[in-house]
């Protein structure tokens, strides 16, 4: 029986099998292959053990052996009123069926037929689990079930002296009755055997550890203990056979998703040639790419971890292709161009830490550039191609690592898959975080650090600590903000663990301490300029907050205005996340949940909602909020995935009198039987919510809605502002002027000049362009900024800026109502001391050297 | 990692290194991608986690992740050692890490073969004993008198083979739609690439002047004029320079080279503002214009 007060023991939780597989592989029975369903324990003569999937596997609950001698089938519920079994309405009467009752009655009648691979017989002595609690090995401890028909057998030697023990952990073990009948030989039906150890034998308790999702036990060196054999004359077959991969319907779902990619590609092509309905095709394509995968992940009918993983990776690949198809032949986003330059410099010089005028702080965070340079050198591909491959691999590694972390923590492929799908609705997921940026290189290693830390904390060997340290180092040398976020994440996890778990294990602080040391060492000795680099935007936000508190100014933003529809979409999505967050929080509070990882996700989720408030704080607020969400969206995705997959009750069900009891212990995980209307409605609602989140993120993320399709030149539109005219001018600067001249211009001109042109960018030049007549102040500014060349794009006089600004730190940002005039742009030709050295009909380059 | 796989990885490493160092791009790209994204991580994963403590997914994740980590941390190491970061050094780094990890992988196996660490199967094959699912002791449970361990029943080889075959067929059937996925994504990629290139590839006609040289004793200076992106259909082009120094033509019809470019060094007076215009056939006003300011 399942403990309804504990989500780990709920049917919607985990299977009793490693890997989150159901007890009936292949979905042949009413205990289908949905990994979200708890395994039915049909063996009538055995002690049953259920291994929760959603809960922290670190814990194991052993229930005292009952005095009654009846067979036990399923772990007993601790709180009778709670929902047990396949539906929430199941009465708890099926907790301990008598020997005469079919054991499957506790769960699913249709699953009553025991098969060889379903039967779980585990006899653990009481009194052992309290020790297991303190064991760091407990994470991997799991009851073994042959995951493949006739693959393995389990032999159990019961302990003669059970002891009472506290129910401290979450795996529930009910021992077999004392007068248990001998198991009948079942050559093909049930291969589990219980072997009583001799009383004189110095028995050793050992539990084969298994890894969630692996569907296989861990083998240990033979020298520890020889494996027993049923028949000494028969040599044991190595138990190395992995269960077959089961991808379910994932390939078919991915075909649909790929059709969505094709539709978006058509939309992009339409945008480039100016087709009218390209935008409609784009949005339909986005939904087709995304939603079928989400529906399948939520359907609770997946074949297991392999299907969920394939779905998630397919979605990750398809979404990366959406980003790549936007500009497939070259980098256009300014930040990508900056890192293109950093990589090119390494290739040219063969050295790290060479000056990169386009992005000076990136010099001291060479992780991405090293990857790109190495791949370019090894493959002979151009830097653009190598960068696209590196960013794609990093993106896929990030998704896969996130999946592995959540799978490890939840033991649920569906939770892991849905979490990754929800994270795909983060504001910057689609473009920014999969671009060739140093953050893209660092993010996978942030998650990998969390994964390896968890493995180490839960009893993994020192090699996990080694992986954690290596990941910390890679993160640190790859991206500053991600390194800071990693330190905070590790401390959050450690703090929650120390707060919740007794006795406290101060070793939880080891990895965070190492992270602090590595980050501090790097910033203190190598990347000393990063503090000043990050100081400006933080100061700006802080000043805005101070002004707001003092009432001296209003929070404002000069970024592009947001439409009501866009705000509504994002608002609905945020409200949906908030409701799920509150529902899970309420659920955990009522159950006195003490799982540190879930509480850490709750704390991180709170940071997500707090971070959304930053977007209203000043000019950099939206960008900082968006960047922040890259990290805070991970915990909120986990929270939302648990709530959606587990069907956490948003509103308590009515009792017989029609009343709702908000303070009652609601079923923690409301198991919904497959096929009924409740499930369909939940899947539909969940899919709709996640789809709305995705649409809101695409509309409010990057690229901006006005340039969401590629196409002809737009002013002040980043990717859409890069075209052959600007690139041609940049190459002329490089070839004719040499490197390192001080060049000013609009956002795109400066970006191209500093990267393709290899010039030293001067960004604060807006006032020179807005002036209708040349003044002494302008001349002084040229002198102060040591400007040698100015780039003038005639199209600034024809088009309004898409992002509300022509220049970086534009003095008229947010208030530009008309393009620049021909007088403003043409005044440079009237200055007698100024040369016009370059003209391609659209872009002109002026030499200011005589001023 | 069994011996066969170890040898396969070692062989792939050697072949990849040779492809990278001695073959043209298409082959080098294949070898480079393996060395950059797969082989070092796969070998390191096996060296660090020789027993089954990882799931398939975790192994799948660790292979590229540790490969990328090798590039980053190894690149720093090369820099500290003052080795230039180039094709040879990257190849040596990735292949070297892979080989070292493979060696580290074999050491425990060699140790374990000293005793009864191998298991002779019915077919006579020698298999590493570690693959036998031996029970693992849980700390703190030494006094408990329960053993939970796993053994595998002997099976008829024919049954096993038939089942494996059926499973493989099922897997192939399941994965068959992925061929369609690849085709669709390939088509989408081709569409995007072709439309992006065709809309980007526009001939840009430019006229430029190099920064003028200092004035000579005669008060003149030389300027290198260059026009690019000149199209045959707009020919003949004409360039005018005004004013010009003595001996320099004010207007000339220019000859386009095979690249659609024209370059000429002209001498202009230093004390006057000089304007240079490029005219297409039939133009009345300059198509492109540059100007050189007078020196003081």
For chain A, 851 residues long, the average pLDDT of each consecutive 10-residue run is: 35 34 34 36 39 38 36 37 36 37 37 36 41 38 40 39 38 40 41 42 43 39 41 48 77 96 97 91 97 92 88 97 95 94 96 94 95 96 96 97 94 93 93 93 97 91 94 97 96 94 89 97 93 79 73 53 76 91 88 88 93 70 79 95 80 68 50 63 91 91 89 93 96 95 96 96 94 92 94 96 90 91 94 94 90 63
Q: What ranges make up the beta strands (E) of A113-229?
A: 153-157, 172-173, 193-194
For B80-93, how does the pLDDT look when each residue is reduced to its tens digit (9 = 90+)? 999 999 999 999 99
What are the b/e assignments for A9-34, b being 16+ CB within 10 Å? bbbbbbbbbbbbbbbbbbbbbbbbbb
Residue A214: what pLDDT?
39
Residue A281: what pLDDT?
96
Sign of CA dihedral A751, A755, A757, A758: positive
Question: A20 and A413 in contact (C-beta within 8 Å)?
Answer: yes
- The half-sphere exposure of A275 on its side-chain side, counting CA atoms within 13 A, is 17
Of residues A161 and B69, more confidently modeled: B69
> If you average pLDDT over residues B87-104, what whole number do you get?
96
Residue A538: what pLDDT?
75
Residue A194: what pLDDT?
43
Task: List phi, psi (to 5°) of A686.
Answer: -65, -45
CA-angle at A520, arms to A518 and A523, nearest 5°: 105
Of residues B75 and A187, more confidently modeled: B75
C-alpha to C-alpha distance for B254 and B238, rounded to whole angstroms: 6
Residue A160: what pLDDT?
44
**Chain B nearest C-alpha distance from A135 (Å):** 6
Instruction: Inspect the interface and report whether the beta carbons of A251 and B273 lie closer than 8 Å.
Output: no
Of residues A69 and B95, more confidently modeled: B95
Instruction: Inspect the interface and report whether the beta carbons of B52 and A219 lie closer than 8 Å.
Output: yes
Q: Indicate the domain borders of chain A.
A: 1-217, 251-436, 718-847
B90 inside 8 A of chain A by CB: yes
C-alpha to C-alpha distance for B1 and A732, rounded to whole angstroms: 54
Peptide bond before A503: cis, by omega within 30 degrees of 0? yes
Question: B235 and B256 in contact (C-beta within 8 Å)?
Answer: yes
**B-chain residue closest to A161, CA distance:** B145
Q: Mind spelling out the 3-state secondary structure of A79-137? A: CCCCCCCCCCCCCHHHHCCCCCCCHHHHCCHHHCCCCCCCCCCCCCCCCCHHHHHHCHH
Instruction: Inspect the interface and report whether the beta carbons of A378 and B90 lie closer than 8 Å.
Output: yes
Residue A22: what pLDDT?
34
CA-angle at A331, arms to B183 and B203, nearest 5°: 95
Number of residues that make up chain A: 851
What are the b/e assignments for A693-711, b being 16+ CB within 10 Å? bbbbbbbbbbbbbebbbbb
- Complete domains list, chain B, with CATH: 3-131 (no CATH), 206-292 (2.60.40)
Contacting residues for A194 by C-beta, under 8 A, at least 6 apart:
A46, A121, A123, A155, A156, A157, A158, A176, A180, A183
101-130 in chain B: CB under 8 A from chain A: 112, 115-117, 119-122, 127, 129-130
C-alpha to C-alpha distance for A137 and A209, rounded to whole angstroms: 8
**Chain B nearest C-alpha distance from A6 (Å):** 24
Query: What ipTM does the predicted assembly reach?
Result: 0.84
What are the b/e assignments for A341-375, b being 16+ CB within 10 Å? bbbbbbbeebebeeebbbbebbbbbbbbbbbbbbb
DSSP reduced 3-state for B69: helix
Task: List phi, psi (to 5°) of B295.
Answer: -90, 155
Who among A127, A235, A834 is closest to B121 (CB)? Answer: A235
Residue B134: what pLDDT?
43
> If you average pLDDT over residues B267-282, what whole number do you get?
92
Of residues B249 and B27, more confidently modeled: B27
Number of residues that make up chain B: 296
Task: Kindly report the CATH class assigned to A718-847.
Answer: alpha beta
Residue A569: what pLDDT?
85
Using a CB-CB cut-off of 8 Å, the residues of chain A touching B201 are: 724
For B219-270, how does the pLDDT look when each residue is reduced to its tens digit (9 = 90+)? 889 999 999 999 999 989 999 998 877 777 788 899 899 999 999 999 889 8
**A-chain residue closest to B175, CA distance:** A251
How many helical (H) and strand (E) elements, i.e. helices and strands, does chain B have?
A: 6, 10
């Amino acid at each position: 029986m399942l403990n309804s007060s504990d989500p780990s023991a709920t049917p919607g939780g985990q299977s009793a099998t490693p890997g989150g597989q159901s007890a009936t592989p292949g979905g042949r029975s009413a205990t289908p292959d949905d990994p979200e369903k708890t395994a039915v324990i049909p063996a009538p003569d055995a002690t049953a053990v259920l291994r929760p999937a959603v809960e922290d596997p670190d814990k194991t609950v052993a229930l005292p052996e009952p005095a009654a001698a009846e067979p036990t089938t399923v772990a007993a519920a601790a709180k009778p009123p709670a929902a047990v079994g396949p539906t929430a309405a199941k009465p708890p009467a099926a907790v301990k069926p008598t020997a005469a009752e079919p054991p499957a009655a506790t769960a699913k009648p249709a699953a009553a037929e025991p098969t060889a691979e379903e039967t779980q017989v585990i006899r653990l002595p009481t009194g052992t689990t309290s020790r297991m609690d303190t064991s760091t090995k407990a994470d991997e401890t799991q009851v073994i079930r042959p995951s493949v028909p006739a693959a393995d057998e389990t032999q159990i030697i019961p302990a003669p002296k059970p002891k009472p023990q506290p129910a401290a952990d979450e795996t529930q073990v009910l021992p077999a009755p004392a007068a248990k009948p001998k198991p009948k030989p079942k050559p093909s039906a049930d291969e589990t055997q219980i072997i009583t150890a001799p009383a004189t034998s110095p028995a050793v308790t050992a539990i084969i550890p298994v890894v969630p999702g692996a569907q296989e036990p861990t083998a240990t060196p033979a020298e520890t203990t020889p494996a027993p054999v049923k028949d000494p004359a028969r040599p044991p077959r190595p138990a190395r056979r992995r269960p077959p991969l089961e991808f379910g319907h994932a390939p078919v779902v991915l075909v649909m998703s790929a059709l969505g990619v094709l539709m978006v590609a058509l939309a992009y092509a339409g945008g480039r040639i100016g087709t009218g309905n390209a935008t409609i095709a784009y949005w339909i394509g986005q939904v087709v790419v995304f939603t079928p995968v989400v529906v399948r992940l939520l359907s609770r009918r997946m074949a297991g971890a392999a299907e969920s993983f394939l779905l998630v990776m397919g979605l990750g690949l398809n979404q990366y292709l959406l980003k790549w198809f936007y500009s497939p032949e070259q980098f256009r986003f300014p930040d990508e161009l900056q890192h293109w330059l950093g990589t090119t410099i390494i290739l040219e010089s063969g050295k790290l830490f060479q000056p990169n005028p386009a992005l000076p702080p990136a010099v001291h965070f060479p992780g991405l550039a090293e990857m790109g340079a190495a791949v370019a050198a090894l493959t002979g591909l151009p830097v653009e191609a190598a960068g696209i491959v590196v960013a794609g691999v990093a993106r896929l590694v990030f998704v896969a690592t996130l999946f592995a972390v959540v799978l490890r923590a939840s033991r649920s492929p569906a939770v892991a898959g849905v979490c990754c799908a929800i994270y795909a609705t983060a504001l910057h997921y689609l473009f920014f975080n999969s671009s060739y940026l140093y953050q893209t290189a660092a993010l996978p290693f942030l998650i990998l650090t969390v994964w390896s830390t968890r493995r180490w904390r839960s009893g993994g060997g020192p090699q996990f600590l080694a992986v954690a340290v290596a990941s910390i180092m890679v993160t640190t040398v790859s991206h500053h903000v991600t390194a800071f976020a990693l330190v905070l994440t590790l401390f959050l996890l450690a703090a929650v663990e120390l707060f919740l778990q007794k006795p406290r294990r101060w070793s939880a602080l080891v990895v965070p301490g190492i992270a602090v040391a590595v980050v501090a060492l790097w910033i203190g000795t190598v990347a000393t300029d990063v503090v000043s680099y990050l100081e400006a935007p933080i100061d700006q936000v802080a000043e805005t907050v101070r002004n707001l508190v003092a009432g001296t100014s209003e929070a404002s933003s000069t970024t592009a205005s947001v439409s009501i529809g866009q705000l509504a979409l994002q608002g609905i999505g945020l409200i949906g996340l908030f409701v799920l967050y509150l529902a899970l929080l309420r659920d955990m509070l009522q159950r006195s949940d003490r799982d540190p990882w879930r509480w850490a996700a709750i704390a991180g989720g709170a940071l997500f909602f707090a971070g959304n408030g930053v977007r209203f704080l000043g000019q950099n607020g939206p960008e900082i909020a968006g960047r922040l969400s890259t990290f805070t969206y991970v915990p909120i995705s986990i929270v939302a995935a648990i709530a959606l997959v587990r069907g956490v009750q948003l509103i308590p069900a009515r009792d017989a009198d029609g009343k709702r009891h908000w303070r009652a212990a609601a079923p923690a995980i409301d198991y919904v039987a497959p096929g009924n209307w409740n499930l369909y409605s939940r899947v539909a609602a969940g899919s709709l919510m996640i789809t709305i989140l995705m649409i809101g993120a695409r509309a409010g993320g990057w690229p901006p809605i006005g340039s969401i399709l590629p196409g002809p030149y737009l002013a002040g539109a980043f990717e859409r502002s890069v075209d052959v005219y600007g690139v041609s001018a940049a190459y002329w600067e490089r070839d004719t002027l040499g490197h390192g001249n001080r060049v000013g211009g609009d956002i795109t001109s400066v970006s191209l000049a500093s990267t393709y042109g290899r010039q030293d960018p001067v960004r604060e030049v807006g006032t020179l362009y807005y002036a209708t007549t040349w003044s002494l102040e302008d001349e002084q500014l040229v002198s102060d900024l040591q400007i040698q060349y100015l780039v003038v794009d005639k199209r600034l006089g024809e088009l309004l800026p898409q992002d509300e600004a022509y220049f970086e730190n534009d003095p008229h940002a947010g208030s530009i109502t008309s393009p620049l005039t021909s007088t403003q742009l043409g005044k440079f030709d009237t200055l007698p001391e100024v040369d016009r050295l370059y003209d391609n009909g659209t872009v002109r380059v002026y030499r200011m050297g005589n001023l | 990692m069994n011996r066969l796989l170890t040898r396969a990885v070692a062989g792939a490493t050697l072949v990849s290194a040779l492809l990278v160092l001695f073959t043209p791009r298409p082959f080098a790209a294949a070898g480079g991608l393996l060395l950059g994204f797969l082989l070092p991580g796969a070998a390191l994963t096996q060296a660090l986690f020789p027993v089954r403590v990882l799931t398939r997914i975790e192994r799948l994740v660790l292979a590229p992740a540790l490969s990328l980590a090798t590039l980053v941390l190894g690149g720093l190491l090369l820099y500290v050692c003052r080795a230039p970061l180039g094709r040879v050094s990257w190849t040596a780094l990735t292949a070297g890490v892979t080989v070292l990890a493979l060696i580290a992988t074999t050491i425990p196996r060699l140790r374990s073969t000293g005793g009864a660490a191998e298991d002779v199967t019915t077919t006579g094959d020698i298999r590493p004993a570690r693959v036998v699912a031996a029970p693992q002791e849980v700390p703190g449970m030494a006094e408990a008198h329960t053993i939970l361990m796993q053994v595998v029943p002997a099976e008829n080889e024919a049954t096993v083979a038939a089942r494996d075959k059926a499973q493989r067929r099922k897997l192939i059937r399941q994965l068959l739609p992925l061929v369609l996925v690849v085709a669709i994504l390939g088509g989408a990629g081709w569409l995007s690439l072709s439309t992006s290139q065709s809309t980007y590839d526009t001939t840009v006609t430019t006229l430029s002047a190099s920064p003028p040289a200092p004035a000579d004793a005669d008060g003149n200076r030389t300027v290198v004029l260059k026009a690019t992106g000149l199209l045959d259909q707009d020919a003949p082009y004409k360039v005018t320079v005004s004013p010009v120094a003595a001996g320099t033509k004010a207007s000339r019809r220019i000859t386009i080279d095979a690249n659609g470019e024209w370059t000429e060094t002209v001498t202009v007076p230093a004390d006057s503002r000089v304007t240079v215009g490029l005219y297409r056939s039939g133009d009345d006003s300059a198509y492109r214009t540059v100007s050189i300011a007078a020196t003081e």
